[in-house]
Amino acid sequence: MRRVTGRWKLGLTLAATSALMWAILPVVLEILLQTIDFQTATLFRYLLPAIILTGYLGARGTLKTVHKKLNSKYLLMLVISGSLLAGNYGFYIVGLEMTSADSAQVMIQLAPMSLLLAGIYIFKEPFSKSQWLGFAFFSLGLFLFFYQRINNNTIGLDYYGFGLVIVSVAALCWTGYAVILKFLLKTFTAQEAMLVFYWIGSILFLPMSDISGLFSLNKFELSLLLFCGVNTLITYTCFSEAFVHIEVSRVSAIVATTPLMTIAFVHFSSPISNLNTEPMTFLSLLGATLVVIGSVVTATSKIR
């Protein structure tokens, strides 16, 4: 497998950009879901980047060489990885509708943690005592963040609890996508891989979408939808490219900071956006902080 370039400043910048964009996204999506269905919103998140990236790579002449790299093995890997990413998109936004932006973002943190564990077993990275401590912090943080709902018996096989389960499935889909992507990057560039993924997602969500509903959106809602499409292009291009320059564990560590940023965005915007939010108690804030600390410690301990 191709070694990372070691350009850590560039890699960390790319990973940090992904984290910031991911932090803002659920806030914007929750506002949009008050107007359009999740299938149409997800289609636009795929289709706009697909069109932009196709035009960009076509102008550079890159598309002419992509088909030369394809064989049955790589085609299957691209389809599976792209389908898993589409599953991540779909399951996450459904779970977001059933919960809230901040709770969904904390729960989706299972994704980078699962990616780290996959890196340990698949990429043969060691797991130290300090990493187990970080994993314990992560688990405790999840419990504390949702403690109020657990204590009030509002998490179970109900609407909210099922939403958290769906977000967890989205996290596992994302992990599978990221692991396969890591193997694909030894042959394809990040942009080439993401181009295929965007078109796979567009094809999968097109039959389920209500295109006519887009014409009912006002200028503000259309701008939010445009942001979602651009967000997807920037986020996954930066995320994929970060793998080229730094290790999986470093990328996971940066992405781990996303929940705290989302919580900040949610609570700053809730007075004007009418968003659902988790009750922000001392325990819930401590829990979110421990989730981040645990993820970062687990991801970075072995590279210190």
Residue 26: name the closest of 111, 102, 106 by CA.
102
Give 55 or 7, the one with higher predicted confidence: 55
Is the predicted pLDDT of residue 127 greater than 70, yes or no? no
Q: Which pLDDT band holds residue 123 (cuts at 50, 70, 90)?
A: low
pLDDT digits (tens, 9 = 90+) for 235-276: 878 887 887 888 776 787 787 788 888 888 877 766 656 666
- Residues 233-269 as b or e (16 or more Cβ within 10 Å = b): bbbbbbbbbbbbbbbbbbbbbbbbbbbbbbbebbeeb
Residue 46: what pLDDT?
A: 92
Rounded CA-CA distance 106/33 in Å is 19
pLDDT digits (tens, 9 = 90+) for 171-206: 999 999 988 988 888 888 888 888 899 999 999 999
The H helix count followed by the E strand count for the chain is: 14, 0
Is the predicted pLDDT of residue 155 greater than 60, yes or no? no
Strands of 114-265, DSSP E? none
Token pair recorded at residue 257: 């900071």
Q: Which pLDDT band holds residue 214 (cuts at 50, 70, 90)?
A: confident
Tell me the average pLDDT across 136-150. 82
pLDDT digits (tens, 9 = 90+) for 41-51: 999 989 999 99
User: What percent of the chain is predicted at pLDDT more than 70?
Assistant: 88
Give 112 or 124, the one with higher predicted confidence: 112
Rounded CA-CA distance 88/119 in Å is 19
Q: Which pLDDT band holds residue 1 (cuts at 50, 70, 90)?
A: very low
Residue 66: what pLDDT?
A: 75
Residue pair 198/151 in contact by the 8 Å Cβ criterion:
no
pLDDT digits (tens, 9 = 90+) for 59-74: 888 887 777 787 888 8
Residue 176: what pLDDT?
A: 92
Is the predicted pLDDT of residue 297 greater than 90, yes or no? no
Q: Please provide the average confidence, as pLDDT, over all residues in the chain.
A: 83
Residue 277: what pLDDT?
A: 65
Is the predicted pLDDT of residue 58 greater than 50, yes or no? yes
Q: Which pLDDT band holds residue 304 (cuts at 50, 70, 90)?
A: very low
**3-state DSSP helix/strand/coil percent for the chain, to nearest 5?**
80, 0, 20
- Residues 67-76 as b or e (16 or more Cβ within 10 Å = b): eeeeeeebee
Tell me the average pLDDT across 2-29. 84
To 5 degrees, how large is the angle CA 112–CA 114–CA 115?
Answer: 60
pLDDT digits (tens, 9 = 90+) for 108-119: 888 877 877 777
pLDDT digits (tens, 9 = 90+) for 73-83: 889 999 999 99
